[in-house]
Amino acid sequence: MPDLGDYGVYVLSAYGGAAVLLIGLVVQSVTRARRVRAELEEVERRHG
């Protein structure tokens, strides 16, 4: 871990906040893609 001096809390909260937002976006995109694909397959099976 590099020595962040007096700025540790600022630098780490910048990285932490960005990580939460980016990981959240990727997880939401992938789970929604999977869910919609499964739902479409079901609809196509019934009505397609």
Partner 1 sequence: MSLWEYANPKKFVATTTPVIPWVFGAALACLGLGLVWGFFFTPDDFRQGATVKIIYLHVPAAMMAINIWLMMLVTSLVWLVRRHHVSALAARAAAPIGIVMTLIALWTGAVWGQPMWGTWWAWDPRLTSFLILFLFYLGYAALWTAIEDPDTAADLTSVLCMVGSVFAVLSRYAANFWNQGLHQPATFSLDAETNIAPVFWYPALLCMAGFVLLFVALVLLRTQTEIRVRRMRALVARAART
**Least separation in angstroms between CB 4 and partner 1:** 4
Give the C-alpha separation, 4 to 38, whole Å. 47
The residue with tokens 């809390």 is 9
The residue with tokens 């929604």 is 32
- H helix or E strand, kind and range, residue 23: helix 8-47
Binding mask 5-44 for partner 1 (x = CB under 8 A): xxxx-xx-xxx-xx--xx-xxx-xxx-xx--xx-xx--xx
Interaction site with partner 1 (CB under 8 A) = 2-8, 10-11, 13-15, 17-18, 21-22, 24-26, 28-30, 32-33, 36-37, 39-40, 43-44, 46-48
